[in-house]
Chain A
Amino acid sequence: MGTRKKVLAVLLVAGLLAVSGCGNNGGTGGGGTGDNSGTESTWKMATSDQYEADAEPGETDDRAFQRFENPVDVHIGMAVSATDTSLKENGETVEDNYFIRYLRDTFNINVIVDWYTADGESYNQKVSTLIASNSLPDALVTSERNYMLMAAKDGQLADMGDAFNKYASRQVLDIVNAAGDVAIDKASWKGTFYSLPGLDVAASGTCVYFIRQDWLDELNLEVPRTVADLENAAKAFMEAGKCDYAIEGPANGIRTYCTFLTSSPGICMLDAVYQAHNAFPGYFIKGEDGKVYYGSTTPEFKEALELLHRWYEEGILNPEIGVQTDAMKNINAGKTGIYMCSWWGLGYGNFSAFKNDPTANWQSYPLYTEDGEWNIHVGNLGNGYTLVNKNASEEVKKAVIIMNNIHVRDEAMLVNQTKIPVGYFPLRNNMAAADESEYTHNVLLSVARGETTIDDYEFKGTAYKHLKDDINALSTVFNNLDWAKDDYATIYDMNVEDNNFARMYSLMITDRPAATLKPDHEISSVSYSVTPAAEKYWSNLIAMEDAFVLQVITGKKDISEFDQFISDWKAQGGDEILKDMQDIADGKE
Chain B
Amino acid sequence: MIKNKSLGSRIFMVVNGIILSLLALSCLYPLWYTFCISVSSKEAVDAGQVLLFPIGFNFGSYKLIMRDSAFFSSVMVSLKRVVLGTLLSMTCMILMAYPLSKTKRHFKARNICMWILVFVMLFNGGTIPWYMTVRYYGLIDTIWSLILSGSLPVFNIFLIVSFFRQLPSDLEEAAIMDGAGPWTILWRIFVPCSIPVLATVCLFVSVGYWNEYFQGLLFINTPANYPLQTYIKQIVVKIAADVSYTTEQYQEMTQNSNRALDAAKVFISMIPMLMVYPFIQRYFVTGITLGAVKG
- Measured CB to CB, the closest approach of chain A to B85, in angstroms, equals 22
B78, chain A: closest CB distance, angstroms: 18
B247 touches A325 (CB 8 A): no
Q: Could you say which residues of chain B place their CB within 8 Å of the CB of A22? A: 132-133, 136
Residues of A within 8 A of B133 (CB): 19, 22
Instruction: Kindly provide the distance from the CB of B261 to the nearest chain A CB, expressed in whole angstroms.
Output: 9
Contacts of A114 in B (CB 8 A): 221
Distance between Cα atoms of A81 and B112 in the complex (Å) = 50
Of the listed stretches B4-12, B170-178, B195-203, B236-244, chain A binds: B236-244
Instruction: Given A81-B249, A117-B217, A129-B218, answer yes or no on A325-B243 (Cβ-Cβ < 8 Å).
Output: no
A119 touches B238 (CB 8 A): no
Contact B243 A326 (CB under 8 A): no
Q: Which residues between 23 and 72 of chain A lie within 8 Å of chain B, taking CB atoms?
A: 23, 25-26
- Contact: B254 with A116, CB < 8 Å? no
> Of A253, A423, A539, which one neighbours B248 at CB under 8 angstroms?
A423
Give the secondary structure class of B's interface. Answer: helix
Among candidates B70, B141, B239, B251, residue contacting A349 with C-beta atoms closer than 8 Å? B251
Which of A1-9, A491-499, A520-528 lies at the interface?
A1-9
B124 interface hit (Cβ, 8 Å): no
Q: Contacting chain B: which of A150-158, A215-223, A261-269, A468-476?
A: A261-269
B222 at the interface (CB under 8 A from A): yes
| Cβ-defined contact, A81 with B223, below 8 A | no
Q: How close is B42's CB to chain A, nearest CB, in angstroms?
A: 10
Nearest CB of chain B from residue A245's CB, rounded to whole Å: 14
Residues in A with CB closer than 8 Å to B253 are 81, 83, 120
A539–B128 Cα distance when bound, in Å, is 21
Q: Which residue from chain B places its CB closest to the CB of A11 in the assembled complex?
A: B116
Measured between beta carbons, the chain A residues less than 8 angstroms from B234 are 82, 117-118, 122
* A351-B255 contact, Cβ under 8 Å, with A264-B247, A383-B246: yes
Contact A115 B243 (CB under 8 A): no
Contacts of B43 on A, CB cut-off 8 Å? 333, 356
Shortest CB distance A397–B (Å): 23
Does A557 have its Cβ within 8 Å of any Cβ on chain B? Answer: no
Give the docked Cα–Cα distance between A383 and B141 (Å). Answer: 29
Distance of A344 Cα from B246 Cα, bound (Å): 11
**What separation, in Å, do the CA atoms of A429 and B46 have in the docked complex?**
33
Which residues of chain B have C-beta atoms less than 8 A from A329's C-beta? 46, 257
From A83, which residue of chain B is reached at the shortest CB distance? B256
Given the known A-B contacts A143-B246, A266-B250, are A116 and B222 also in contact in the complex, defined by CB atoms under 8 Å? yes
Cα A84 to Cα B218 with chains together (Å): 22
**B217 A83 Cβ-Cβ under 8 A:** no
- Pick from B222, B235, B241: contact of A82, CB below 8 A: B235
Minimum CB–CB distance from A453 to chain B (whole Å) comes to 30
Chain A residues whose CB sits within 8 angstroms of the CB of B247 once the complex forms: 200, 204, 264, 344, 348-349, 430
Check B217–A115 contact: CB distance below 8 A.
no
Q: In the complex, what's the smallest C-beta–C-beta distance from A457 to chain B, in angstroms?
A: 25
Taking the closest CB of chain A, its distance from the CB of B26, in whole angstroms, is: 23
State the Cβ distance, B43 to closest chain A Cβ, in Å.
8
CA distance A217 to B222 in the complex (A): 52
Which chain B residues have a beta carbon within 8 Å of chain A's beta carbons? 43, 46-47, 69-70, 112, 115-116, 119, 127-128, 131-133, 135-136, 141, 217-218, 221-223, 233-235, 237-258
Kindly list 11 other residue pairs between chains A and B, CB separation below 8 angstroms, not including A125-B217, A348-B247: A19-B133, A82-B234, A82-B237, A83-B237, A84-B256, A115-B221, A119-B245, A120-B249, A253-B243, A325-B238, A326-B237
Q: List 26 A-B contacts (CB under 8 A).
A: A7-B112, A21-B136, A22-B132, A22-B133, A81-B249, A83-B253, A83-B257, A120-B249, A120-B253, A121-B243, A124-B243, A126-B217, A129-B131, A132-B128, A132-B131, A133-B135, A144-B243, A204-B247, A252-B241, A253-B242, A254-B239, A266-B245, A325-B239, A326-B237, A352-B255, A356-B43
On A, residues with C-beta under 8 Å from B are 3-4, 7-8, 11, 19, 21-23, 25-26, 81-85, 88, 114-122, 124-126, 129, 132-133, 135, 143-144, 198, 200, 204, 251-254, 261-264, 266-267, 325-329, 332-333, 335, 344, 348-352, 356, 382-384, 421, 423, 430, 502, 539, 546
